[in-house]
Amino acid sequence: MEYTDINLVEEEGISVIYFNREKQLNTITGHMVDEIIRAMKSVSNSCRSIIIGGRNNFSAGADVAQFQNIDTRSAYEFHIKLNELALFFRSYPRPVISFLNGYVLGGGLELSLSTDIRICSENAILGQPEINLGINAGAGGNVVLPSVIGRNRALYMILTGEKITASQAYDFGLVDLLSDNSELEARRIATLINRMPEETVSTAKRTVNNVASNGLEMKLDYEAALFGILQSEKYTKERIDRFMQKKGKQ
């Protein structure tokens, strides 16, 4: 299969999906989401585990350029697509391991929250900066993040938009392991898991995620709807325009 926004590398028992929009800091588009799902479906029978990440950056979040002239319904539908990917990670029969390096922001961080194991490089920068644009997190930041790090720390990240270091993220419980080479560590863990009984691994993942994801789909839909509503606000459009103008001058 041909891909433009990702690269798929198949190894013995392990499939690695690299995000392939490095010039755009691997910001997420609907097309990128479609390619990730298509790639994961194509290897579901041939691999024992999936590794996901970017060579220089995990993802700086959703591509803000697509929000400049977007209406409420289109904004809602885009975040429903992100939710589809997050839920797909959780329901996927194989372990999904993410390696986080560079920027891990906004929708990028939110998608990582639905992977099964998160390995973080010591140079990573993580955050939920959406509030700076007048929008809310729309792919699990308001729903999944509090369940991972607790209500108060989640509100700190959401309401201030401040970025945190890898060590802070580890202290928060936002990531599972720190490593000076997160991709290599992800491969080590995938190899270890692949030595375990295949059906037991699949059953264990399904059991944990079914319990943890109770009612999640409805909550994510509510969050996406609020994102769409905020997208129509005048101050949101102004902030997005300023962000894009500033970005254009860089």
Query: Which residues belong to the active site?
Result: 110, 130
Alpha-carbon distance of 92 to 117, in angstroms, equals 13
> Distance of CA 27 to CAs 31, 51, 109, 111, 247, Å?
11, 18, 11, 12, 14
In angstroms, rounded to a whole number, what is the distance separating the alpha carbons of residues 82 and 235? 24
Cβ-proximal residues to 219 (8 Å cutoff; 6+ apart), any chain: 143
Three-state secondary-structure class, residue 172 = helix
Say which residue the tokens 């029969």 belong to: 93
Please tell me the distance from the alpha carbon of residue 12 to that of residue 222, in angstroms, as a whole number. Answer: 40
Please answer whether residues 176 and 195 qualify as being in contact, where contact means their C-beta atoms are separated by less than 8 angstroms. no
Do the Cβ atoms of 121 and 165 come closer than 8 Å? no
- Smallest CA-to-CA distance from 58 within 26, 89, 30, 84 is with 26
DSSP 233: S
Q: Cα(129)–Cα(242) distance, rounded to whole angstroms?
A: 15
Please check whether residue 17 is in contact with residue 50, taking contact to mean a CB–CB distance below 8 angstroms. yes
